[in-house]
Structure 1
């Protein structure tokens, strides 16, 4: 099991909201209205760890190890929402999200293949780490800068934990896992070709609720994320390339094969898909009656 070791590792570096955040250094003159509004939107977005955890537990009922790890992931992700709300409670109480605004992002996700979902959230942690690093640079008020730096480190650690479960999946499922990880990896490393940000909170997850079936669509300001990325923290091509490089680097380590581009990863995906199809055809012939 991976859970006991991951618990110890994450417990050893867990930060304390009361003592590790330098609340006393707050400088009201350095917090703009636009920045304060984005903190509210981010607090609500982080609350979406709740429906994500419900999804993970539902779709991984046969995996008690991973489900147990969700107790750690869920706790730390909800603390992200909480620390952002605590910042607002102390310094902009008028912007603290209401319970109704938080509850609006709790809705059921459609069932999805567990391996693809695992890879999706691994890539999401990489992307969020880079978004928060950039947000820390953009913000001018020192306390919220420190908070975003702290959250970014958490997201990186979560990505590392997901990677451990991905390595385990390769041992258990072989090409099935390789195919799922490569498929989602190609998608998530191709964000510069899409019109929207590729992150779990911005993907459609409930067909019956379309178009209000993404986390971002249920925020008080559904257009916030794109504006935050493009106009405020300016998550440009340079930063997007950093995300792509990390995804390709980790896929190279995982598959023990070098991927210098999304195209190379996509060729690998096609190779694995061909192998799986050939194996399925062989097995089908093997069970046909004489």
Structure 2
């Protein structure tokens, strides 16, 4: 099992919200209304760990190891929401999200292939790590800069934990896992070609609720994310390239093959998909029970 070791590793570096955040360093002159509004939106978005955890537990009922790890991931992700709300409670209480605003992003996600979902969230952690690094640079107020740095480091550690489960999946099911991971990897490394930010909170996950079936669409200001990325923290092509590079680098390690571009990854995806299809075609069908 991976859970016991991951628990110890994450426990050893976990920060304390009261002792490790420099609350006394707050400088009100360095926090604008515009910045405070983005903190509120991120606090609500981080609350989406709740429906995501419910999805993970539902779709991984045959995997107690990974499901147990969700206890750690869920705790730390909900703490992200909580520390942002605590910041607002202390310094901008008028912007603390209401319980109704938080609850509005809790809705059921449609079932999806577990391996693809794992890869999707692995890429999401990489992306959030980079978004929060930029957010820390964009802010001038020292306390929120410190908080966003802590959040970015947590997201990097979560990505590393997901990668461990991805390695286990390849060991267990081989090309089935490689096909799922490369399929989603090609999608998530192609974000610069899309009109929207590719992150789990911005993807459609419940067909019956369309168009309000993304986390972002259910926020008080559904348009905030693109504005935050493009205009405020200026997550430009250089930073997007950093995300793509990390996805390709980790997939290279995972597949034991070098991918310098999305096109190379896509060619490999097609090779593996063909191998998987050929293997399935060569396997005789299981005789029907009499």
String of CA shifts for 1:13-71, please: whole Å, max 9, x gaps: 00000000000000000001100000000000000000000000000000000000000
Counterpart-to-counterpart distance in 2, 1:163 and 1:280:
27
TM-score (norm 2): 0.98
CA–CA separation in structure 1 for the residues paired with 2:201 and 2:285? 43
Deviation at 1:75, TM superposition (A): 0.1
Corresponding residue for residue 160 of structure 1 = 160
> What does 1:1-290 align with in structure 2 at a 5 Å threshold?
1-284=1-284
Q: Separation in 2 of the partners of 1:107 and 1:34?
A: 28
The offset of 1:284, in angstroms, is: 3.8
| Shift in Å, 1:287 | 6.6
Q: Distance in 1 between matches of 2:204 and 2:139?
A: 30
**Unaligned residue ranges in structure 2 (runs of 5+):** none
SS in 1 for 2:111: coil
Residues 141-189 of structure 1 deviation map (CA, whole Å, 9 limit, x = unaligned): 0000000000000000000000000000001110000000000000000
| 4+ long deviations beyond 3 Å | 284-288
d(CA) in 1 for partners of 2:146, 2:138: 12
Query: Matched residue of 1:198: which SS?
Result: coil
- Report SS of the residue matched to 1:109: coil
Number of aligned residues: 288
Distance (Å, rounded) in 1 between the aligned partners of 2:251 and 2:127: 15
Partners of 1:264 and 1:287 lie apart in 2 by: 40
TM-score (norm 1): 0.98
SS of alignment partner, residue 106 of structure 2: coil
d(CA) in 2 for partners of 1:286, 1:157:
42
Question: Per-residue deviation at 1:280?
Answer: 1.0
Secondary structure, aligned partner of 1:259: coil
1:168-227 per-position Cα deviation (integer Å, ceiling 9, x unaligned): 000111000000000000000000000000000000000000000000000000001000
| Deviations, residues 223-245 of structure 1 (Å, cap 9, x unaligned) | 01000000100000000000000
- C-alpha RMSD of matched pairs (Å): 1.0
What are the ranges of 5 or more consecutive residues in structure 1 without an aligned counterpart?
Answer: none
